Amino acid sequence: MKEKSSYTASDIKVLEGLEGVRKRPAMYIGSTGKEGLHHLVYEVVDNSVDEALAGFCKKIVVSINKDGSITVEDDGRGIPVDIHPTLKIPAVEVALTRLHAGGKFDKKVYMISGGLHGVGVSVVNALSEKLVVEVKRDGSIYMQEYAQGKPISKLKVIGKTENTGTKITFWPDPEIFSVLNFDYNILETRFREIAFLTPGLKIILIDNIKNKKTEIFSSLGLIEFVKWLNESKEVLHKPIYLKKEQGNLIIEVAIQYNNTYQENIFGFVNTINTVEGGTHISGFKTALTRVINDYAKKSNLLKNIKEESLTGDDVREGLTAIVSLKMPDPQFEGQTKTKLGNSDIKGIVDSVVSQSLSEFFEENPLIAKKITLKVLDSARARIAAKKAKELVRRKNAFSLSGLPGKLADCSSRKKEETELYIVEGESAGGSAKMARDKERQAVLPLKGKIINVEKASPTKSLSSEEVANIITAIGTGVGENFDISKVRYSKIIIMTDADVDGSHIKTLLLTFFYRFMPQLIENGYIYVSVPPLYRIRKNKDIYVYSDEELKKYVNNESSAEVTRFKGLGEMSSEQLWETTMNPKTRKIKKIYIEDAVEADKTFSMLMGDDVLSRKNFIQENAQEATLDV
Ligand code: 0RA
């Protein structure tokens, strides 16, 4: 996708100042919490990605710095520095101080930049207490500094160079953000997506605080993306890859079935992850169902089951797929603006995928047959399970209220103030029931490990007693019947021991939520509690949450008496209240969809047949697992 470099500074539109951004930051970046903070990085990186898509940038280096700043450096053409004809300031200053400035975006066919709304780097500048830009261009290195979006120096030449590129370092403003630390895993997950969607671009993530580094590069794009997603699963065939350019659309699809029961479809529009789906995903699903049904009928395989046709669920069992669309002017809808709304896209994707996939099936009958037989298996299981499901579900003990007998519910019916604690183990569950604020906090103890939702079929998972209890306590139902308005609590907090078993159960539960109630994660309902690891006895008890923190205390005062908590069950109910349940003093961590995706992968690895990655994981995490997930 080469575009010609016909840029002039006058292309840049001047819209409005940046005061509005500081007044209402959430309007521009979604929130001023963790998500908003990370959005700043995406905003800067997306500009470099645009430069890569235009064919001028091969490498982006993102560094988390010790002083709390982030540096994004690319080897693109460099933001232009010529003087704007009416504003009489360098174009780079215009780009950094004017909202929506950046003439290049207006002319581009694919407005890929800008993550959420394509708001641009000026928004990052406005929300940073300091920002330094360095541009390498025309033989010189230029530099300029800003504070809260305003220049505090002129653009200066600070050296000579033969290279080109842009380097932006910014310090998020503590006056704006409630959270200031960057999460390596969240950034890595997003950069991995970008790398798979922009083959040929190398992204390097460096954490100068934890001394970590990841290099991400994909030469085959979506094909490698599905392979990576299926890494610890047994796959049925090589990835199927379809690509079609139609008018000003580019549609790319990669498909690979594995032997699990789960469906994993990821959609991207202009590299933005459309978590809530949309018309491109509907079009894809319709096409897939039709093509497989047609193939099953044509090859006389359908007669093996006593059904007219295969359902959408049948064809998506064990499916991993990526649908990536590049298009001008996408309309994003939904709660988190991640649902594609353009209505014409459904039909277009449907017809493109139908045609290319049936062609592929014609040319690759072995793969087509393998997939169809797997889908027929799913259909057979569905039919058989229908009756069994009803029977099994009745086994669960529910109290008169219809709620699980084990649930100690809270008395308040004001949803917005209530919380559900899901607690590992009956004994910790008992302490939590004693410790809790009975009005606002409900407690559901779990008996050991919940059922393995990946190895078991969906029907079996849903009918296990522990899972049924969780579903009933939460109230929303699952799958197609999920209804968020029926949720019975405003927070659902997973409370497990700070040890390997605890982190394992946490992984299981997160996988369960991700698979069956992803909307709860997307809407910020799911949390994990962070129980302390140690108590230090002084005139007052001090609770310590990590080994690093403990070292600090122990170095400073050697006389302190230190107790290690082996598990939640060991704490008195006062201690449990103080450290883990009292909203004023406890620590809890909100779960984001990236955390759940990670848990899901970890989970497949821990539970799956892939012994090698399981072994590596356990070795690498043996220490860390006792601290955190
Ligand atoms: C406007 C025009 C040109 C490049 C860029 C912006 C540009 C912006 C960013 C932001 C981060 N990295 C970037 N790299 C490039 C094209 C200038 C030309 O015609 O040479």
pLDDT at 103 over 60: no
Domains of the chain (ranges, CATH numbers):
9-216 (3.30.565.10), 222-384 (3.30.230.10), 396-531+567-620 (3.40.50.670)
pLDDT band at 457 (very low <50, low <70, confident <90, very high): low
Confidence of residue 107 (pLDDT cuts 50, 70, 90): very low
Assess whether pLDDT exceeds 50 at residue 114: no
Which residues participate in catalysis according to the annotation? Answer: 424, 497, 499, 501
Against a cut of 0.85, is the pTM above it? no
> Could you give the angle at which helices 344-363 and 279-298 cross, rounded to 10 degrees?
30
Distance 7 CA to ligand 1 centre (A): 9
How far, in Å, from the CA of 78 to the mean position of ligand 1?
Answer: 5
- Minimum CA distance residue for ligand 1 atom 12: 48
| Position with higher pLDDT, 113 vs 205 | 205
The Cα angle at residue 504 between residues 499 and 506, in degrees rounded to 5? 95
pLDDT score, position 326:
92
Mutate to test the pocket of ligand 1, among 60, 132, 166, 194 (most ligand atoms within 8 A of CB): 166
pLDDT of 392: 40
For ligand 1, atom 14, the nearest C-alpha belongs to: 78
Atom index in ligand 1 nearest the CA of residue 137 equals 20
Ligand 1 site, residue 256, Cβ cutoff 6 A: no
Measured from the CB, is residue 94 less than 6 Å from ligand 1?
Answer: no
48 lines ligand 1 (CB under 6 A): yes
pLDDT tens for residues 502-517? 877 888 888 888 878 8
Give the side-chain half-sphere CA count within 13 A for 532. Answer: 24
Torsion sign (Cα): 40, 45, 47, 49: negative
Task: Output the pLDDT for position 462.
Answer: 57
Mean pLDDT of 323-331: 92
pLDDT-derived band at 113, boundaries 50, 70, 90: very low
Distance of CA 116 to the CA centre of its chain: 14
pLDDT above 80 for 483: yes
- How large is the average pLDDT for residues 309-315? 94
Compute, in angstroms, the gap from residue 166 CA to the centroid of ligand 1.
8
pLDDT confidence tier of residue 557, bands split at 50, 70 and 90: low
- Ligand 1, atom 19: closest residue by C-alpha: 5
- Given a cut of 80, whether residue 493 has pLDDT beyond it is yes
Q: Give mean pLDDT, residues 53-73.
A: 96
Least confident of 420-429, 444-453, 465-474: 444-453
Q: What angle do CA 136, 49, 339 make, to 5 degrees?
A: 150
User: How far does residue 332's CA lie from ligand 1's centre (Å)?
Assistant: 26
> Which pLDDT score, from 0 to 100, does residue 511 have?
80
> Of all atoms in ligand 1, which is nearest to the CA of residue 76?
14
Q: Is the pLDDT of residue 343 over 90?
A: yes
Winning range, highest mean pLDDT, from 96-105, 368-377, 510-519? 368-377
Q: Is 207 in the pocket of ligand 1 (CB under 6 A)?
A: no
Q: Span 275-302, mean pLDDT?
A: 95
Nearest CA to ligand 1 atom 20: 77
Question: Which two three-digit tokens encode residue 203?
Answer: 């992204």
In this predicted structure, the answer to whether residue 305 has a pLDDT above a threshold of 80 is no
**Per mean pLDDT, which range of 102-106, 422-426, 453-457, 533-537 is the poorest?**
102-106
Report CA-CA distances (Å) from 60 to 44, 167, 192.
Answer: 11, 10, 12
- Please report where in the chains the tokens 């917005």 appear, as a residue: 416
Query: Residue 478 burial (CB < 10 Å; 0-12/13-18/19+)?
Result: middle
Q: What is the mean pLDDT of the chain?
A: 84
Euclidean distance between CA atoms 525 and 42, whole angstroms = 24
Gap between the Cα atoms of 273 and 578, Å rounded:
39
Cα angle 139, 144, 149 (rounded to 5 degrees) comes to: 145
For residue 520, report the distance from its CA to the centre of ligand 1, in Å.
39
Q: How far is CA 132 from CA 90, 154, 251, 577, in A?
A: 15, 12, 38, 46
